[in-house]
Amino acid sequence: MAMADYLAHNHKALKKFLKKVERDLKEVQGINDWDRQVILFLVGINGGDILPGSSRSQRVDEPDPEAGAGEYFPLQVIVQKRRSR
């Protein structure tokens, strides 16, 4: 996935992307499916570590309790929820 590869090599863009995802999770309690796919691809690229230089706190094959947080919405729903706030 091109976006995930770009984010993996551009740390400034990665931080901006993750802030947007965190904001969506906080404001609308979910993210869109495309963002979810980018995050999963990034996790795969980095073997479980999203930010460069971060230490592995758990093995990749262990379930992440935060992984189920939030729902996945179509982008249209996310935009509508953002506007209503």
Residue 56: pLDDT above 80? Answer: no
Q: Report pLDDT digits (tens) over 21-47.
A: 999 888 888 888 899 999 989 888 877
In a domain, 58, yes or no: no
In a domain, 59, yes or no: no
Number of domains in the chain: 1
In a domain, 71, yes or no: yes
Q: Domain containing 22: what range?
A: 2-52+67-83
In a domain, 62, yes or no: no
SS (H, E, C) the chain: CHHHHHHHHCHHHHHHHHHHHHHHHHHHCEEEHHHHHHHHHHHHHHCCCCCCCCCCCCCCCCCCCCCCCCEEECHHHHHHHHHCC
pTM: 0.62
Q: In this prediction, what percent of the chain has a pLDDT beyond 90?
A: 28
In a domain, 14, yes or no: yes
